[in-house]
Amino acid sequence: MMAPFPPDPTQSPPMPFDLAPLDLLALTTFFVLWGGYNVIFRLPGAPASLNLHMRTVREVWMRNMQARDTRLLDGQLLGHLIQSVSFFASTTVLLIAGDLSALVNADRLAALVEKMHVTSTASGALVEVKLFLLLGVLVYAFFQFTWAVRQYNYTCALIGAMPDATNHPPSVDVEEAADAAAALLSLAVQSFNAGVRAYYFGFAALGWFVHPLAFMASTTLVIVVLVRRHFHSRAFHAVRRFGTAVRMVLPERRQPQPPEGG
- Measured over the CA atoms of residue 212, residue 217, residue 218 and residue 224, the dihedral's sign is positive
- Cα–Cα distance for residue pair 23/39, rounded to 1 Å: 24
pLDDT band at 255 (very low <50, low <70, confident <90, very high): very low
Q: Within the chain, how many helices (H) and strands (E) appear?
A: 8, 0
Distance separating alpha carbons of residues 107 and 122, to the nearest angstrom: 10
120 vs 115: CA distance, rounded Å? 10
Per-residue pLDDT, averaged over 17-26, amounts to 83
Residues 6+ apart with CB under 8 A from 132: 103
| pTM, two decimal places | 0.83
Q: What letters, b where the CB count within 10 A reaches 16 and e where it falls short, cover 68-85?
A: eeeeeebeeebeebbeeb
Q: What is the pLDDT of residues 75-132, one digit of tens each?
A: 888 889 999 999 999 999 999 999 998 888 877 777 776 666 544 556 667 888 889 9
How does 106-124 read in b/e, with b if 16+ C-beta sit within 10 Å? Answer: beebbeebeeeeeeeebbb
Angle at 150 between CA 147 and CA 156, to 5 degrees: 145
Give the pLDDT confidence score for residue 119 in this predicted structure. Answer: 47
Give per-residue pLDDT as tens, 173-198.
888 888 899 999 999 999 999 999 99
